[in-house]
Structure 1
Amino acid sequence: MTSRHLVDPQLTDVLDAWPPLALTNESLPSIREQNRLEMISTRPVDPPFPDVTLAEHFIDGPAGAGALRILVISPRLQATAAPGLLWVHGGGYVMGSADQDSLQVQRLVSAVGCVAAVVDYRLAPETPHPGPIEDCLAALRWLHDAASTIGVDASRIGVAGESAGGGLAAALCLLNRDLQAVPVILQLLIYPMLDDRTVTHPDPHPYTGEFVWNADSNRFGWAALLGEEPGGQDISPYAAPARATDLSGLPPTYLDVGTLDLFFEEDVDYARRLVRAGVPTELHVYPGAFHGYPRAETSAAAIAHQAAVEAALRRGLSVG
């Protein structure tokens, strides 16, 4: 059953231009390379946000000394310690990089005035769970411990991510809560990839997941991360956050998703469960929006999304 007639008309041009994705073990290397080349070819010549600075750090992580790359994006004119934001990039757990999300995070830093650390976690299937979440935890601890040297207020740290990055951000907040590792005051989840069971549901939603990120891609991503087919027994909530039975004690949450996104039901259900667990939760649902809809930057949905994310960061990180 097609959902084309349900797509927000302002998003159709971007949807039609989106290249098809067919993820397999054989195609993954070439897809990663194509994405890298596209990122290079579309990189602006002049810095679009001259009021921010970028710095590379290589920190000690689970893979060894100096093995974990962090891209720190800071306001250029920063007189006092600013809130910190650990950003986790998307890519279905199998693609992406800190550089991929650099411009997006630069925009947030420019608008909000926080300091963002974007973590280049190791990708599946080469590094399955728990490698990626361990990298994210190491990055979060570094952001907290190095706060004074990079201009961060260690008492105001949030965690954010998009798609698989949103899934890792949610998993990280669960793990961080259970370890009582670092004070985190906000989790910001943009159409997060939370539940491996979505592709095994006996009655899948008839109108979600047709575009951009579909059930086949989702199955591939989860199998790569888990090292087994999704939907099995005893899957860790630190891999698939929707598996967590207790969501209490998590930081205040912002979550958004489109009605045509494959993750629509799992995301709305996670928000519902957060509210029932006593977690202050802000949920935004965008009608007719598919996975990755903010790429249509001039659409009303993308503009509303950007404004809502910036407002959630200002409020959640106590900016201004």
Structure 2
Amino acid sequence: MKVTTDMIDKQLRFRGKLFDSLMKSKNEQKWQKAMYKLKKRSDRSAGKNIEGLHCSEEWITRRDGSKLRIRIYKPLGDTNQVPGVLWIHGGGYAMGIPEMFGGAYKRLIHASPCVVVAPDYRLSIEAPYPAALDDCYDTLLWMKSHAKELGIREDQLMVGGESAGGGLTAALTLCARDQEEVSIAFQMPIYPMIDDRMDTESAKANHAPIWNSDYNLWAWKLYLGELYGGNVPPYAAAARETDYSSLPPTVTFVGDIEPFRDETVQYVENLRSAGVPVEFKMFQGCYHGFDIIHPKAQVSREAHSFYINAFKYAVKHYFAKQPTDGV
């Protein structure tokens, strides 16, 4: 899909070009090197707190016995029986740490008191699928087993994230549904990265700012490893799922000029066809991650209001259900 400058929202144009000038890579090897450099930069922010929130850190045990770092964000003061939100950061499965997405945590917590748990999951440059998903699922189980200490409802957990975090959100809800060990009340896979096949119109030859078809291809190759080009399971790329029944109510949005536009639209249609309640909006003139690149732009504020209002509705209508026995 060819993207021209006049297709981009005027407030988003400059920052899109600026970011591209910093990120531009013409081949896969250089792109991977850039991911390692970005990881080193982001690691310097590890442990950074967010003003106005109670911030803490835990190291939980993975299924293989190693340790996984998680960040915990709470409103100031005591919490009791509030929603627990597992928020999964974005970065093409290849970069990023929880501390980079503090804006989302503040918006959620200020909208309705909740506890946000953000795992520092293994990146694809360190370990391919299923490492990231395993880390997120282990975090979800940890949240359930430590609900009392966290001040959250173990039977009413929510999952969300942007981009690759959205892809992991969609995969995690599939995994939780199938494993039946923990219930997810609501999911927010924001402009999710869910289809490795890249055969939609928006995913082909898309050179919009921030995230284009080349970056997308290289990121999927890294994340899938030896699975790339073969029999990829839905837990790795949620768009490959054929059964969308019994998944939690969902909210998502996407820009109309980004590579993930069509796969997000199809995902929404699949959920709705399965009877899953979905709130969805497409924002005109928006490239991937626009609300993070320029959070003060008018369209970004509209996007934030959209998903935060959906979150508040979920707290009232889905989290408000009375606790049940068992899962």
TM-score when normalising by structure 1 = 0.90
Counterparts of 1:99 and 1:63, CA distance in 2: 25
Aligned to 2:324: none
Report if aligned partners of 2:91, 2:164 keep a CA contact under 8 Å in 1.
yes
Aligned to 1:210: 208
Aligned to 1:20: 23
Q: How does 1:162-311 map to 2 (within 5 A)?
A: 162-198=162-198, 201=199, 208-228=206-226, 230=228, 232-294=229-291, 295-311=293-309
How far residue 308 of structure 1 moved from its aligned partner, in angstroms, is 1.4
Report if aligned partners of 1:123, 1:132 keep a CA contact under 8 Å in 2.
yes
Q: How does 1:104-119 map to 2 (within 5 A)?
A: 104-119=104-119
Question: CA RMSD for the aligned pairs?
Answer: 2.4
Specify which of 37, 45, 67 is matched with residue 41 of structure 2: 37
Report if aligned partners of 2:158, 2:186 keep a CA contact under 8 Å in 1.
yes
How far residue 30 of structure 1 moved from its aligned partner, in angstroms, is 4.5
Deviations 1:49-80, CA, capped at 9 Å, x for gaps = 42x11110100113424x11110000112353
How far residue 293 of structure 1 moved from its aligned partner, in angstroms, is 0.5
Stretches of structure 1 lacking an aligned partner (at least 5 in a row): none
Counterparts of 1:63 and 1:33, CA distance in 2: 28
How far residue 85 of structure 1 moved from its aligned partner, in angstroms, is 0.3
Q: How does 1:90-129 map to 2 (within 5 A)?
A: 90-129=90-129
Change (3 A) 1:48 1:179: closer
Report if aligned partners of 2:42, 2:100 keep a CA contact under 8 Å in 1.
no
Deviations 1:81-117, CA, capped at 9 Å, x for gaps = 2110001111111111112223432332233211000
Q: How does 1:134-145 map to 2 (within 5 A)?
A: 134-145=134-145
**Aligned-partner residue type, residue 3 of structure 1:** T
Q: Secondary structure at the match of 1:227?
A: helix
Stretches of structure 2 lacking an aligned partner (at least 5 in a row): 321-327
**Aligned-partner residue type, residue 296 of structure 1:** H
Counterparts of 2:170 and 2:215, CA distance in 1: 20
List, as ranges, runs of 4+ consecutive aligned residues in structure 1 with deviation greater than 4 Å. Answer: 38-41, 202-209
Counterparts of 2:194 and 2:15, CA distance in 1: 25
Counterparts of 1:2 and 1:72, CA distance in 2: 39
Report if aligned partners of 1:166, 1:191 keep a CA contact under 8 Å in 2.
yes
Report if aligned partners of 2:192, 2:264 keep a CA contact under 8 Å in 1.
yes
Report if aligned partners of 1:219, 1:229 keep a CA contact under 8 Å in 2.
no
Change (3 A) 1:284 1:208: farther
Q: How does 1:63-82 map to 2 (within 5 A)?
A: 63-65=64-66, 67-82=67-82
Report if aligned partners of 1:166, 1:189 keep a CA contact under 8 Å in 2.
yes
Percent of pairs identical after alignment? Answer: 33
Report if aligned partners of 1:275, 1:281 keep a CA contact under 8 Å in 2.
yes
**Aligned-partner residue type, residue 119 of structure 1:** P
Deviations 1:145-202, CA, capped at 9 Å, x for gaps = 101001112222100010001000100000110001211110101110010011xx28
Q: Which shows bigger deviation, 86-95 or 2-11?
A: 2-11
Report if aligned partners of 1:208, 1:262 keep a CA contact under 8 Å in 2.
yes
Change (3 A) 1:9 1:207: farther
Provide the aligned length of Structure 1 versus Structure 2: 312
Report if aligned partners of 1:125, 1:227 keep a CA contact under 8 Å in 2.
no
Change (3 A) 1:21 1:90: farther
Q: Secondary structure at the match of 1:251?
A: coil
Deviations 1:26-67, CA, capped at 9 Å, x for gaps = 5534444346537858x99xx7642x11110100113424x1
How far residue 205 of structure 1 moved from its aligned partner, in angstroms, is 5.9
Counterparts of 2:16 and 2:28, CA distance in 1: 22
Counterparts of 2:147 and 2:273, CA distance in 1: 33
